[in-house]
Structure 1
Amino acid sequence: MKSRDIAIAGILLATGAIMRYISLVIPGPIVSNLVIAFYCLAIILIVPAFGEAVGIGVVAGIVCALVSHSVFPPANLVSEPIGAAVCLIAYTALKGRVGTAPGIATLVATLASGATFVAVAALAIAPTILTKFPSIGAFVLVTAPIVVLTAVVNAGIAQALFIPASRALTRGRGL
């Protein structure tokens, strides 16, 4: 990956981390994850190799695990690399075919990341979940709308920022 691409990914991950940190003021055990929108935007803008995309997801997972008050922060270490991989695969399949490829790729990536997070958390801390929820199914039913809503918001953010970010990067190449 070129140093310019690393800078782009770093800036967008930092932006997502700041948004994630700000979201911590929202009370509750589960919060939406806007880091996904920004690492998806990075992946969409630079279209890295598969391993590099997973690496971006690993960094995002570390950031999310450190800046989180979710039920099981370490689940981010699994869910974010999966989300990054799904984003790359979805975007690569859709780019040039669909104008909303950035939004769709981010939507699918957020759903994959969120579903993975919920599954890992449910498996890892089932006894704790069962003290707060009547069953694991109830936990999934409570978290599923959060994942879907976050996916829709993230898709909107990525789609809305894609054109201006793309133009800014194109302008920067001429310098």
Structure 2
Amino acid sequence: MSVETRVVEQKGLKAVDVAIVAVLLAVGAVLRYFTPPIAGITPNFVIIMYCLSILLIRPKFGAILGIGLVSAAICQVTTKSLFPYLNFVSEPVGAIVVGLLAMIRMESGFLKYVRPFLITLLGTLVSGFTYISIFKAITLFVQLGPNRPNPAYAALVVVVLVTAVANTVLGGILYFPLKAALGKK
């Protein structure tokens, strides 16, 4: 008599992983909605939370794309943007970059500690500059006068850079306590 062992490949996320993503994105939405602008800029807490979700659960590509799309939908409710639907491109692109960077092993020495900061920074920058690029393409033909650049572009770059710094600090600080609380190795 022989015993047959089967390996069942996991498809999708486990229920606990879905719960982690849902709670983090809900917290991000609430914080983004109720946080008043600081010097006219509101940090995008949804980006922080999808970065943390991806870093903590390390989902496969389809789930990463899903997290990005759900994040974009949440941003529709909480945004103050002129073109809110651009988030349906920028957030999935940011989430995919975070997912790809999360695959890179940096588990030794100093890199282990800067990894969540670095990945959150790059995810926020990619999301923000994707948004700006699409915004610029849409408004390319809007002219304010001869040889006058549109000041909205410079303002958006400032918003992305300030948001990236805020997200980096908050995401990096929150990563380790969340990782410990969830019992992730």
Q: Is the 8 A contact 1:75 1:117 kept in 2?
A: yes
Identify if the C-alpha distance between structure 1 residues 65 and 30 changes in structure 2 by more than 3 Å, giving closer, same or farther: farther
In the alignment, which of 23, 32, 35 is matched to residue 43 of structure 2?
32
Match of 1:12 in 2: 24
The whole-number CA distance in structure 2 between the counterparts of 1:30 and 1:159 is: 20
Larger radius of gyration: 2
In the alignment, which of 142, 159, 175 is matched to residue 162 of structure 1?
175
Structure 1 unpaired stretches of 5+: none
- The alignment's C-alpha RMSD in Å is 2.3
In the alignment, which of 96, 119, 123 is matched to residue 137 of structure 2?
123
In the alignment, which of 153, 156, 163 is matched to residue 166 of structure 2?
153
TM-score normalised by structure 2 residue count: 0.81
The whole-number CA distance in structure 1 between the counterparts of 2:48 and 2:89 is: 17
The whole-number CA distance in structure 1 between the counterparts of 2:138 and 2:38 is: 23
Instruction: Tell me how far 1:83 sits from its aligned partner.
Output: 0.6
Q: Is the 8 A contact 1:50 1:88 kept in 2?
A: yes
TM-score normalised by structure 1 residue count: 0.85
How many pairs align? 167
Of the structure 1 ranges 77-86 and 87-96, higher mean CA displacement relative to structure 2 is found in: 87-96
Q: Is the 8 A contact 1:30 1:70 kept in 2?
A: no
In the alignment, which of 127, 132, 140 is matched to residue 113 of structure 1?
127
Flag the structure with higher helix content.
1
Identify if the C-alpha distance between structure 1 residues 94 and 146 changes in structure 2 by more than 3 Å, giving closer, same or farther: farther
Instruction: Tell me how far 1:47 sits from its aligned partner.
Output: 0.5
